[in-house]
């Protein structure tokens, strides 16, 4: 049997252990709270905002240059902009393309299906950069590049579409332009 002194000492020891455990719980909760507070922003940026991925935006600008009385030269500027914090490296062919379609015979009050319109030209914008020898196209962070293409065209209305496929993402930009008759 336990003596009265031993019983009191055992109770004191149990109380001391309980206090230590209470303090460990407080310390553990403080550490967990601090970690959540500290890691909330980077985790949010990584998983929600895609902070550590390229963020590509495309823009198209066009201009028409009169060459002679029968032909005009269409100049197309495709401007890829990497607003992300990671460079985009393209190693493959035909992932950055530009297509030009002539809009003809469009019925009034109907939406135009661009895929059914006459394809004038489709080109790989990186055909001279990315080759079979392993060259790459690197779109650096916070930068805007200018890929320029030209094509002589007759008067009419045209649909221009630039597309960039990268890392499972798809970005494109389109424009409709009119090349006027010389009289206009």
Would you report the helix, strand and coil content of the chain in percent, each value rounded to 5? 25, 40, 35
* Nearest residue to 138 (alpha-carbon basis) of 77, 96, 175, 184: 96
Q: How is residue 46 annotated by DSSP? A: H
Higher pLDDT, 180 or 108: 180
Looking at per-residue pLDDT, the higher value among 98 and 13 belongs to 98
- Model pTM? 0.67
136 within 8 A of 92, measured Cβ to Cβ: no
In the chain, where the domains are located? 1-51, 56-179
Secondary structure class of 87 (helix, strand, coil): coil
Query: What does the pLDDT look like over 128-182, one tens digit per residue?
Result: 776 655 678 888 888 889 999 999 998 889 999 999 998 788 899 999 999 887 6
Closest CA to 84 of 49, 56, 42: 56
Residue recorded with tokens 């269409």: 74
On the question of pLDDT at 184 being above 60, the answer is no
CB neighbour class for 181 (10 Å; exposed up to 12, middle 13-18, buried from 19):
exposed
Backbone angles phi, psi at 136, to 5 degrees: -130, 160
Fold category of 56-179 in CATH: Immunoglobulin-like (2.60.40)
Whose structure tokens read 């998983």?
47
| Separation CA 132–CA 10 (nearest Å) | 80
């Amino acid at each position: 049997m336990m003596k009265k002194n031993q019983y009191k000492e055992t109770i004191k020891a149990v109380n001391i252990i309980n206090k230590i455990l209470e303090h460990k719980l407080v310390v553990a909760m403080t550490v967990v709270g601090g970690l959540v507070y500290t890691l909330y922003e980077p985790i949010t940026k990584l998983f929600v905002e895609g902070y550590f991925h390229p963020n590509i935006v495309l823009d198209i600008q066009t201009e028409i240059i009169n060459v002679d009385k029968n032909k005009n030269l269409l100049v197309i500027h495709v401007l890829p902009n990497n607003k992300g914090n990671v460079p985009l490296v393209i190693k493959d062919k035909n992932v950055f393309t530009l297509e030009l379609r002539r809009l003809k015979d469009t019925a009034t009050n109907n939406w135009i299906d661009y895929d059914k319109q006459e394809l004038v030209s489709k080109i790989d914008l990186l055909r001279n950069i990315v080759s079979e020898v392993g060259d790459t196209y690197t779109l650096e962070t916070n930068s805007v590049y200018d890929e320029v293409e030209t094509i002589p065209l007759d008067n009419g209305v045209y649909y221009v579409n630039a597309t960039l496929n990268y890392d499972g993402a798809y970005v494109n930009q389109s424009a409709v332009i009119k090349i006027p008759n010389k009289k206009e």
